[in-house]
């Protein structure tokens, strides 16, 4: 009976499987009262990949719970501003949030390790560190101070270096450059003589077009094409040394989470894991196609950063990232965990992913 039930669930896919395995609490099912949550996000409503990733999470929670739970998604500025998401979830204005942890470096410098570190971990390695390398435990400890539970909810993969209206031939070309680039990448740009600006996604295109900023990075071809950034800058540099595999975050208000019956708690966290994989898969697929569109239809000037520029940026990055460790004992703990994991990942991936990609290319 059990076996037949499981096979049936497998036939209808992951959603069906999880729903079949998690039995609803009797009291909850009988009361029939729907639990309604709000999810605030740092993205414009329905923004391709990121906003739709938040929608996917909400929809998955609704489906896995068999409709017992409903999560309504709010785009940036609909309920709170994009950079007020952290506080809104911490306070309980919304029960959930979707963003990226580097936006909250003002709350704690260690936040940045849970989004992206320049020359740090790629998507596969981030997930490995978070789930099996102690990363998520550290993140949970950190957000616990703010009455929140964190979860990885999406990853962009390696991002693009960004949109420029002038060539970057040496590190000196970054001097005086006003660029939208968040997090630690922004700090690296500052050390190279540039001016980093942290703008929410929805304000990037107009700022670049008006000349309020000289250059910008955003995500990758699919997201950048959606904003039309190619209409405001000519040169598209790669790779995104500053964001090699940015983790998007789900934030859950801890009080709201505790009020859920145990099975719904599991459903929320499982939905986060499903959404985490889904975004990376979708963006990888769509980036392939969007890059072709940008290059062939829009005649974008696609260029690699010169090796010498990347080498200098890496030197600065190593200093900037190490400085975070010096700010407080907790940041030091996260830095050490991250760095130890990165060293191991570098060695393993030299003989696996990197060796394979080299072999495939030749």
CB atoms within 10 A of CB 273: 17
Measured distance CA(128)–CA(274) in Å, rounded: 15
Q: Give the nearer residue to Ca ion in terms of CB position, either 187 or 217.
A: 217
**Burial of residue 155 (number of CB atoms within 10 Å: 0-12, 13-18, 19+):** buried
Question: How far apart, in whole angstroms, are the C-alpha atoms of residue 174 and residue 62?
Answer: 47
Q: Interacting stretch for Ca ion, rule CB under 5 A, among 92-100, 156-164, 260-268, 279-287?
A: 156-164
**Residue 65, C-beta contacts closer than 8 angstroms, at least 6 positions apart:** 19, 35, 264, 267
Residue 268, number of CB atoms within 10 A of its CB = 26
Residues between 198 and 217 that touch Ca ion (CB under 5 A) = 217
Three-class secondary structure of residue 354 per DSSP? helix
Q: Say which DSSP state 45 is in.
A: T
Q: Which is nearer to Ca ion, 149 or 184 (CB)?
A: 184
Closest distance between Ca ion and the C-beta of residue 243, in Å?
5
Binding segment for Ca ion (CB under 5 A), chosen from 26-34, 119-127, 236-244, 287-295, is: 236-244
Helix 262-292 / helix 14-21 crossing angle, nearest 10 deg: 170
Site size toward Ca ion, by CB under 5 A: 3
Stretch that binds Ca ion, among 199-207, 208-216, 242-250, 255-263 (CB under 5 A): 242-250
CB of 129 to Ca ion, least distance (A): 19
Nearest-approach distance from CB 259 to Ca ion, in angstroms = 35
Using CB under 5 A, which residues numbered 216 to 235 contact Ca ion? 217
> Smallest distance, Å, CB 224 to Ca ion?
9
Residue nearest Ca ion by beta-carbon distance: 243
Give whichever of 22 and 179 is closer to Ca ion, judged by the CB atom: 179
Show the site string, 159-178: x = touches Ca ion by CB under 5 A, - = not. x-------------------
Contact segment (CB under 5 A) with Ca ion among 36-44, 146-154, 220-228, 241-249 equals: 241-249
Q: Are 126 and 155 in contact (CB under 8 A)?
A: yes
Q: How does 105-142 read in b/e, with b if 16+ C-beta sit within 10 Å?
A: bebbbbbbbbbbbbbbbbbebbbbbbeebbbbebbeeb
Residues that bind Ca ion (CB under 5 A): 159, 217, 243
């Amino acid at each position: 009976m059990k076996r037949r039930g499981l096979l049936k669930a497998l036939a209808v896919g992951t959603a069906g499987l999880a729903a079949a395995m998690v039995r609803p609490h009797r009291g909850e099912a009988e009361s029939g009262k729907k639990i309604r949550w709000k999810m605030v996000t740092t993205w414009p409503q329905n923004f391709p990949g990121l906003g739709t990733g938040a929608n996917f999470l909400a929809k998955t929670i609704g489906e896995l719970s068999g409709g017992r739970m409903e999560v309504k998604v709010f785009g940036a500025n609909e309920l709170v501003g994009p950079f007020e998401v952290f506080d809104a979830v911490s306070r309980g204005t919304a029960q959930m949030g979707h963003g990226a942890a580097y936006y909250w470096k003002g709350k704690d410098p260690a936040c940045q390790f849970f989004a992206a570190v320049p020359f740090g971990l790629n998507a596969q390695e981030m997930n490995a560190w978070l789930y099996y390398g102690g990363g998520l435990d550290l993140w949970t400890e950190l957000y616990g101070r703010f009455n929140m539970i964190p979860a990885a909810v999406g990853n962009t993969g390696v991002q693009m270096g960004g949109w420029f209206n002038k060539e970057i031939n040496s590190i000196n070309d970054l001097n005086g450059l006003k660029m939208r680039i968040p997090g630690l990448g922004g700090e690296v740009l500052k050390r190279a003589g540039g001016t980093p600006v942290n703008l929410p996604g929805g304000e990037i295109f107009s700022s670049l077009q008006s000349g309020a900023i000289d250059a910008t990075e955003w995500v990758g071809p699919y997201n950048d094409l959606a904003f039309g950034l190619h209409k405001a800058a000519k040169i598209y540099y790669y790779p995104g040394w500053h964001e090699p595999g940015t983790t998007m975050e789900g934030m859950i208000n801890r009080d709201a989470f505790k009020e859920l019956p145990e099975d719904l708690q599991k459903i929320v966290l499982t939905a986060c894991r499903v959404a985490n994989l889904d975004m990376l898969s979708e963006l990888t697929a769509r980036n392939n196609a969007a890059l072709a569109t940008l290059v062939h239809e829009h005649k974008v000037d696609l260029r690699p950063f010169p090796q010498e520029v990347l080498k200098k940026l890496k030197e600065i990055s190593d200093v900037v990232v190490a400085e975070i460790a010096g700010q407080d004992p907790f940041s030091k703990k996260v830095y050490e965990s991250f760095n130890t994991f990165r060293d191991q990942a570098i060695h393993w991936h030299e003989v696996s992913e990197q060796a394979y990609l080299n072999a495939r290319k030749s």
